[in-house]
Amino acid sequence: MAVSYTREERIATLCIDGRTERNLMAPDTVYLPLYDALCEYEADDDAWCAILTGAGTEAFSAGGDLVAYEKFDEGYGREVSGMLEGRNAARSLHSLFEGEVQITKPMVFAVHGLCLGAATAFVMSYADIVIAAPDARFGLPEIKWGVGAGVAAVRLQRLLPWPIAMDLYLTGRLMDAEEAFRHGWVNEIAPKEGLMDAARAKAQVIVENPPDHIRAAKAIMMSDRRASLAAAREIESMGVDPFFDHPDTREGIRAFVEKRKPVFTGRKRRAPTAAGVLSE
C-alpha cells in the first residue's frame, strides 16, 4: 500500500509513498489508498489528531502521475471504477478530490519539498494546520500542461488574496514556504530534519484538549465553509469537466511524458466517436 497508517498513543500518522522519489499519485497507487487511510483515521476512536506527510526527502508529493494517466485508454480524467475489483472506486475518488471525505478530527500536514497539483489541492481541502520545511514548494502547475481549467480554483481564492491566487493559477508558478507563510497558508516553518518533530509537537498540544470539544469546534468552523464551497463547486465543475478530453489536454500530457514543450492549438474538442472516446 502506498499510504501507510500508524498510530502512537493518540496521534496517527499517514504517510504517502508514491511512485518515484517525488511520490507521484495515481488512482490505484495513492489516491484510493489515501481515501482508505483517511477513513481509517476517522473511524479510529483512539486517534485524536493525525499528521499527513510524504515519504523520502524530495517531495511531500509532486501531484498526479501524468505518465500513468497518459496510458488510460479513455483519456485523462476518466473515472477508474474498474481499476480495482470489488469496490466503488469512482465514488471514493470523487469524494477525495471534492474534499468531501468527512474528517471530523484535526489534520496536521507536514510538508517538505514539492507539494504540487493534487497534493496542494489536498492541503487546501483537508489540512487544518500546515507545518512546512524551508524547501516546501506549493503550486497548481497543471495549467502548463493543459490539464483541467479550474481544478481547486474555488479553494485557492478563498485561502489566498485574489491577485496572489490568480497569479499562481494563471502562471502555474510555485510558491515557496516563506511566501506561503506570509500569506497565512502555512502556520509554521520548521527545519527539514525537525519537521515531523514540529508536527508531532503541534499534534500533542491538540490531543491534550478534550476530543469531543475539538470535534465540535471543527464542525462549527467547517459548516459555513462547506455551504459556500458546495455552491461554488457547481460553477467550478463547468470549467473543469469540459476539458478532460480537450485536444490541448491530451497534447499537454503527451508533451510531459515525452519531456518536451507542449504545442497548444486552442482547438475545441470534437464530438464523441462511436466508441465513446473523444477524437482529436
pLDDT for 214 beyond 60: yes
Domain extent for 19: 3-194+211-243
Answer yes or no: is 250 within a domain.
no
Does residue 148 have a pLDDT over 90? no
C-alpha–C-alpha distance, residues 226 and 178, integer Å? 28
Of 5-14, 167-176, 224-233, minimum mean pLDDT range? 224-233
d(CA 126, CA 280): 36
Name the grid cell of 267: 482547438
User: Residue 29 carries which DSSP code?
Assistant: I
pLDDT band for 135, please (50, 70, 90 cuts).
Answer: very high
Instruction: Count how many Cα atoms sit within 13 Å of the Cα of residue 254 in the half-sphere of its side chain.
Output: 11
Q: Does residue 11 belong to any structural domain of this protein? A: yes
Task: Please check whether residue 153 lies inside any domain of the structure.
Answer: yes
pTM of the model: 0.79
In a domain? residue 201: no
pLDDT classification of 280: cutoffs 50, 70, 90: very low
Q: Beta-strand (E) ranges in the chain?
A: 3-8, 11-16, 49-54, 59-61, 107-111, 114-116, 129-132, 137-139, 175-176, 188-189
Q: Has residue 140 been placed in a domain?
A: yes
What's the structural domain count of the chain?
A: 1
Work out the average pLDDT over 216-231. 74
pLDDT in tens, 28-69: 788 889 999 999 999 999 999 999 999 999 999 998 877 666
Q: Count of CB atoms within 10 A of residue 64's CB?
A: 26
Is 256 in contact with 250 (CB distance < 8 Å)? no
What are the cell numbers at 150?
Answer: 479550474
Convert 118-137 to b/e letters by CB count within 10 Å (16 or more is b).
bbbbbbbbbbbbbbbbebbb
Q: 21-35, 207-221, 260-274 — which is least confidently predicted? A: 260-274
Q: Tell me the per-residue pLDDT of 69-121, one tens digit each, with 9 for 90 and over.
A: 665 545 444 444 455 555 677 678 778 888 889 999 999 999 999 999 999 99
Average pLDDT across the chain, whole number: 82
Q: How far apart are CA 223 and CA 225, in angstroms?
A: 5
pLDDT at position 77 is: 43
Q: What whole-number distance in Å separates Cα of residue 204 and Cα of residue 206?
A: 5
C-alpha cell belonging to residue 149: 481549467
* CATH number of the domain that residue 108 is part of: 3.90.226.10
Q: Packing angle between helix 32-43 and helix 89-97, nearest 10 degrees?
A: 80
- pLDDT for 243 equals 54
Give the per-residue pLDDT at 242.
52
Residue 77 lies in a domain: yes
3-class secondary-structure state, position 138: strand
Look at residue 150 and tell me if it is in a domain.
yes
Count of alpha carbons within 13 angstroms of residue 140, beta-carbon side:
26
Nearest to 202 by CA among 67, 96, 109: 109
Residue 80 lies in a domain: yes
Q: What is the pLDDT of residues 113-134, one digit of tens each?
A: 999 999 999 999 999 999 999 9
